[in-house]
Structure 1
Amino acid sequence: MLGRIINLLPRDWLVYLYKHFPFKRLKNWIVYRAQHKFLVSVLGIITNESGQIMLLKHVYREEPWGIPGGWMELEKPEEGLKREIYEETKLNVTITGIAQAKYGSNPVRIDLIYTGKIVEGTFVPSSEISDIMFCDLDDWPEGMPEVQKRLIKEILSRS
């Protein structure tokens, strides 16, 4: 509601008010409330020592197999992905680079897709992940979303 009201004001007025408003905390609160919000997800195309792709079986999805990932908290994206993978699998990974950033609309979000490798650990099922598998490109399990298959192929074809 506040955002809609503020967006009705001319941009020049908003800049003037921001520059001259004396109460910094209140000013920052108003700016925060007036801005659109969206989520940031971190996703990983993680491979083992043989170059096979790690897929996880998510217990809450209709198409359960897919790449690891989750929502960022107040952390660096790479650390968020490592944390998510460890929480869900007990595997430690190293992140080798960012492969792509994409906009998603349901929910509104930015997806940061990274590549990485497994460093150590033994898979332990969690409340979110019931199984793990490693597969070669195009040797997908039944129940994997087409969008993730295309994403993996696109990213791995660049490297």
Structure 2
Amino acid sequence: MQTLSPEKIHESLRLIQAHDPRLGSERDSLQRLWDAGRLRRRFESLDRFYQNHKSEFYQLQENQPATLGLIELAKLLVIQKVVVDRIAETFDQLKEIESEIWIQGERGNLDRERIACDWAMSHARIWREWRLKEYLFVVERMEPQLRRSLALDSGPNQPQS
């Protein structure tokens, strides 16, 4: 196993903390979404994501300190990859853009292309940050599924140290 510098360890922890939902209103909003079952699709997307990215997870596991647990490593992989479910995320962004086009149309603005570009410039980054927070929140609630998806309970599928 590779020895990591204290700077590398600190950077990994900082990266996780920087993207985690903050205490208070963000976390409360996410909890309400979770309780209402509105994050179910994120759960399913993450389950597929981890099944499809086992080798990257194992590589990340080998290159991170042993102090990082399963949840922290899982979060770090999501942060590094940025996109978990390209099709679902694209579809969800298109729904948001279509909603904005409808709102603007009601106000008399019928320039669909301009509205879509304006939405992308004004809201795409914020939309992505929120989606990432949703994913990280859901990761905290899926440890048993992570173990199964990454074959961590079965022993032979784990990488050798």
TM range (shorter): under 0.3
TM-score, normalised to structure 1's length?
0.22
Q: Which protein has the bigger helix share?
A: 2
Q: Which protein has the bigger strand share?
A: 1
TM-score, normalised to structure 2's length?
0.22
Using CA pairs below 8 Å that are at least 6 residues apart, which structure has the higher relative contact order? Answer: 2
